[in-house]
Amino acid sequence: MDQGYEVTQLTSRRRFLKLIKKMGLLAAIMGFAGWPAGCGSSTPLSQAAEVETLPGRPYHHTPEGFRNPIGSPIHEHSITNWVKHIWHEISGNVPEIPGNHFIGHDQAADQLLATGNDDKITWLGHSSFLLRLSDTNILLDPFLSDYATSVPPFGPKRYAPPGLPLEKLPEIDLIIISHNHYDHMDSATLKALPDRHNIHIIVPLRLRKFCLELGYKKVTELDWFETIKSGAIKITALPVVHFSGRSLSDSNKTLWAGYSIFNDRTKIYFSGDTAYHSFFKEIGQNYGPFDYGLIPIGAYRPHPMKNYAHVTPEQAVKLGRDLRINKLIPIHWGSIVLSQAPAFEAPERFLKAGKKEGYSELSLWKMKIGETRLLEKDSH
């Protein structure tokens, strides 16, 4: 672990009990529901027939916001499991972190510098990556602050530091956001980026206003299947099975998306968060093959409460096959507690499933936080 990063045992149980005493159990639960950090507190719009489809608009557009594609898994809500899950997230149990999980800020900065201007990717932790493609520095779902919540110190706290601190990041040209949950669209990180009014930020529908309020001037909203070109790079927003919301009042009012990110040499799939759906085979046929795929593997337990919005590690590998991805890079794990599963269970299951499905060890990129790897040209 980086000596400059102190990992402490949380005292959230005491804070939780004090909050209950002051506000009452219901108010406390409602407050925690507003932190949907791990993408597990809000509920996707129903696929039921009574949800109106707007004339002339795609199925995923509704009068109130957005919904998942037809045939998506339905949220099976259990108040008991939900309260247990909230308790687990704030319980203060810091997982035992393997010594090689985080390479340290100095080594991370040295690796980034040593790889020069070549196309490369750096894992910043959780679902955050620094991607360099066609001389463009891209941040994917930046989350570098200590808490994934609207009400620090309540909510999930980072137990492993980000791969690079803000001051060690190179000048950022482009940001791509998959959805507005706190562990993917972190206000503190976005506000702290220098010269942000010159950074182009790409977001799903109805997130432009939020970005403008953070000081960004160049904001592009994309609907599913829309494409934008930024220099030599093309970005296409693609459907995933998830939901959005940063409070109790904005559930599914903004869109969620995955992305195809490519230049003339390399094609990358970035999922954000998603549950499994058969439509990924069609995406693979129409938009693949992909050289690299950033696929989520965490936040899958308890089942079925979590699996309406997240894949298991085994389903992540199935996504890779469906999408025709050559090299899989697991994301959405290793930084904050978002599931009742052991913190380091997901990568073990992912590697086992990947090998079972015929991926070689060289095609399963289980990266260390802070690690930079060069992207091979024309790898598919």
pLDDT tens profile 282-325: 999 999 999 999 999 998 886 655 688 999 999 999 999 999 99
CA distances from 16 to 7, 31, 32, 88, 89 (A): 20, 11, 10, 12, 11
What is the C-alpha end-to-end distance of the chain, expressed in Å? 35
pLDDT-based confidence at residue 151 (cuts at 50, 70, 90): confident
The closest alpha carbon to 159, from 92, 84, 87, 83, belongs to 92
Res 377: pLDDT: 64
Share of the chain above pLDDT 70, in %: 79
In this prediction the pTM is 0.86
pLDDT of residue 6 exceeding 80, the answer is: no
| Helix H or strand E encompassing 105 | helix 105-114
Res 302: pLDDT: 67
Res 170: pLDDT: 98
Q: Is domain 116-374 classified as CATH 3.60.15.10?
A: yes
Res 305: pLDDT: 56
Distance CA 143, CA 127 (A): 8
pLDDT tens profile 36-92: 444 544 433 333 334 455 678 899 999 999 999 999 998 766 666 666 666 665 665
Res 16: pLDDT: 39
Strands (E), the chain: 120-125, 128-133, 136-140, 174-176, 200-204, 218-222, 227-230, 233-238, 258-262, 267-270, 290-296, 325-331, 372-374
Distance CA 127, CA 136 (A): 19
pLDDT-based confidence at residue 35 (cuts at 50, 70, 90): very low
Res 68: pLDDT: 97
Indicate the length of the chain as a whole number. Answer: 380
pLDDT-based confidence at residue 116 (cuts at 50, 70, 90): very high
